[in-house]
Amino acid sequence: MAIIRGSTRTRGSTRRRRIGTSLAVATSLALTSVGAWAAGPALASVQKAKPPAVSAGILLPMSGKEAFVGQWFDHGVRAGLYAVDHGGGVMGAQYATHLADTAGDPVDAVAAFRQLLLYHPVVMFGPSSLEIEGVIRQYGPDHVVDLMEGGTTQLDYMHYPYVYRVFPSDSELLAGEAYYAVRAKGCKYAAEVYDSGPNAQAEVGPVTQAFKKLGGTVVASATIVAGQSSYLSAVAKLFSGKAPQCVFFHMDPQTASTFFANIRQLGHMNIPYITGDTGASIQLAQAFGMADAVKWLTGMAAPPAYAQSNAAFLNAYQKVWHTRTPLPASPAMYDAVIIASLAMDAAHSTNPTVWRPFIKRISNPPGTKCYTYPSCLALLNRHRKINYQGASGNENFNIHHNVFSSFEVEQFNASGSLHTAFLEPASRLASLYG
């Protein structure tokens, strides 16, 4: 069952004190006595209507096995909302947000989506890959713009005019995994183990294809069911033939805790274990075992591409979450909020049918490059064409509303902090994509 949290102003929003009844009466009498001629511009300023709030839906997996992903994305969204609300607002208006929990399930996502529609949102942020197929066909008919993050390869060539993906496809990320395995670790023979969920299974083809393009050979593979009490048979299968030099995998932290305990039990915790953006999460590293994670586990992340954008993101993130160490994948959802807000500003409208075409106009070249919401807004107010450069990358959308990025391979150190183990240029990954 989807759970929806009520309407809230974003963190840090200014609350206005209500004007007391007696003051209102006194003001009314005073104005009557001096006459209309004395009111002039000053009274018009006092009585100027406050812009209506911009209704936004946040559709994320806040419970279930992918709840940690929902937390990543929500952290980025909240930082973006703070940056906009404290950077002038959308045409002077603040956001009013409503969060609905998809529970990581496409069916629950439909119910959550419908609940959000009751608040007449002009934009939605989310969901992730697991739930998008349940609702992706609804955004156009309901005229709601969606900016989502999730690597599913099923969206590589999508034709949904109201849906934009602000993070690169897993096709590019998985090419990065294979590139790291071969070029950095010298792995020519790999094993693959993925859980049976659709998101994990969608990764098998792209990583295998990229690995083979680089001259690698997959010597063993296994599909596991999440949440089992033992994976000893699957581990034995992976290592029963020619010994793999590395392992590609995807699984949630709970499953990983059991699986890698079995890996350790059978004596195979001695080669690289390579995964995607979940490998940059402390939850997975702890499930893997931190002492071994610092040696053998790596994950993927898009590096901060622009210093100014990243600084603005970190400042907003610190104001909301009281830390300058952001959760993985949160910069892209921060960018999603900035992009949507600037598109509305550029269109002078919060009507999705009006502002949607402005997404690529403010995000793609040509245009004056800008890196923060206030600086971009200032250029728009001077009627300048802009090209927003995000905290997660350039955010240039192609005809399928996808973006591309360089990637860095990340690994934890003994203190639990991430460091970059290997950097991969987008130009090199593009040759392995698809």
Instruction: Confirm if 336 and 392 have CB atoms less than 8 A apart.
Output: no
Strand, coil or helix: what is 214?
coil
Instruction: Confirm if 253 and 299 have CB atoms less than 8 A apart.
Output: no
Residue with tokens 């993927």: 300
End-to-end Cα, the chain, rounded Å: 36
Residue 135 burial class via C-beta count within 10 angstroms: exposed 0-12, middle 13-18, buried 19 and up: buried
- Cα(189)–Cα(167) distance, integer angstroms: 30
- Cα(92)–Cα(85) distance, integer angstroms: 8
- pLDDT at residue 170 in the model: 81
Q: In what helix (H) or strand (E) does residue 43 lie, and over which residues does it extend?
A: helix 40-46
CA separation (Å) from 369 to 337, 365, 385, 396? 18, 8, 9, 12
Pick out the chain residues at pLDDT < 50: 1-3, 6-47, 434
- Cα(123)–Cα(126) distance, integer angstroms: 10
* Token digits of residue 75: 């952290």
* Token digits of residue 282: 């402390």
Residue with tokens 């890996």: 263
| CA 272, chain centre distance (Å) | 27
Instruction: Confirm if 193 and 208 have CB atoms less than 8 A apart.
Output: no
Residue 322 burial class via C-beta count within 10 angstroms: exposed 0-12, middle 13-18, buried 19 and up: exposed
Burial 65-76 (b: 16+ CB within 10 A, else e): bbbbbbbbbbbb
- pLDDT at residue 427 in the model: 65
DSSP letters, 257-326, are HHHHHHHHHTT--SS-EE-SGGGGSHHHHHHH-HHHHHHHEEEEEPPP--HHHHHHHHHHHHHHHS-SSP
Q: Which of 344, 386, 346 is nearest to 364 (CA)?
A: 386
Burial 213-222 (b: 16+ CB within 10 A, else e): ebebebbbeb
- pLDDT at residue 101 in the model: 98
- Cα(302)–Cα(277) distance, integer angstroms: 9
* Token digits of residue 161: 């005019």
- 29, amino acid identity: L
- The predicted-structure confidence for 225-278, as pLDDT tens digits, reads as follows 999 999 999 999 999 999 999 999 999 999 999 999 999 999 999 999 999 988
pTM to 2 decimal places: 0.73
Give me the helix-helix angle, 330-347 and 373-381, nearest 10°: 20
- pLDDT at residue 30 in the model: 34
Residues 6+ apart with CB under 8 A from 229: 258
Q: Which of 213, 203, 230 is nearest to 221 (CA)?
A: 203
Strand, coil or helix: what is 125?
strand
